[in-house]
Amino acid sequence: MPRTAPLTTALPAEPAGQGRPGRERRYDIDLLRVVCTAAVVLVHAAAEFIDAGHRTSGILGDSAGRFAVPAFFAMAGWAALAGSPVRGDAQLLTRLGRILRPMAVWTALYLAWQYLFGPPLDGGAKEAVRALFGSVEAAFHLWYLYAYVPLLLLLGVAVLVLKQRATPRWSTLLLVAVAVAPVLSEDVRTVTGLPLPAWEWSVSLSSLGYAVAGAALLAAGRRGPRPLWLAGAALALTALVVYQFTVRHPAAYGSVAVAALTFAVLGAAAGVRVPERARALLGRLSDASFGTYLVHLLFVMVLVRPVAEMVPHGVAAPLALAVTATAAAALSFAASLLWGRLGLRRWLG
pTM across the whole model: 0.91
pLDDT at 165: 65
pLDDT at 129: 87
pLDDT at 7: 35
Q: Are 266 and 218 in contact (CB under 8 A)?
A: yes
CA–CA separation, 10 and 147 (whole Å): 13
pLDDT at 15: 43
CA–CA separation, 232 and 209 (whole Å): 20
pLDDT at 10: 39
The pairs formed by 114-119 with CB atoms below 8 angstroms and a separation of 24 or more are: 114/138
CA–CA separation, 32 and 6 (whole Å): 20
CA–CA separation, 86 and 165 (whole Å): 10
Residue type, 245: F
pLDDT of the chain along its 349 residues, tens only?
A: 333 333 333 355 444 444 454 568 899 999 999 999 999 999 999 999 999 999 999 999 999 999 999 999 999 999 999 999 999 999 999 999 999 999 999 999 999 998 888 776 666 678 888 999 998 989 999 999 999 999 999 999 999 999 876 678 999 999 999 999 999 999 999 999 888 888 999 999 999 999 999 999 999 876 678 899 999 999 999 999 999 999 999 999 999 999 999 999 999 999 999 999 999 999 999 999 999 999 999 999 999 999 999 999 999 999 999 999 999 999 999 999 999 999 999 999 9
